[in-house]
Amino acid sequence: MFVIVLTYTRPVEEVDALMREHMAWLNAGYRDGHFVVSGRQVPRVGGVILARGEDRSAIEALAAADPFVREGVATVQVIQFRASQSADGFDFE
């Protein structure tokens, strides 16, 4: 499992200009089974994605393909962890 943390480096207006492309990238990640949950940080300084996977380099490449990262309006941090517990009904594998 991975936590992908996006941190905006440019004004929100520049981030919003790429939102349609970012959402298409997110939807593809969900469709392909990589993403479990995602959303904005509060306050709105970036976003967080919980992702499935075993291959760190593949997840890093996926994160680098985010239009926010690719266009330089956000930086990305990828944190890998081994999930050992979850709430009933939450499938993390």
For the chain, which ranges sit under pLDDT 50?
A: none
pLDDT of residue 92: 63
Nearest CA to 7 out of 83, 92, 56, 79 is that of 79
- Contact indicator for 25, 66 with CB cutoff of 8 Å: yes
Residue 47 makes CB contacts below 8 A (sequence gap 6+) with 5, 6, 38, 39, 40, 41, 74
d(CA 61, CA 74): 15
pLDDT of residue 57: 98
pLDDT tens-digit profile of 53-75?
999 999 999 999 999 999 999 99
Which residues does residue 88 pair with via DSSP β-bridges, in sequence order? none
d(CA 80, CA 11): 28
d(CA 59, CA 53): 7
Domains, in order of start, for the chain: 2-80 (3.30.70.1060)
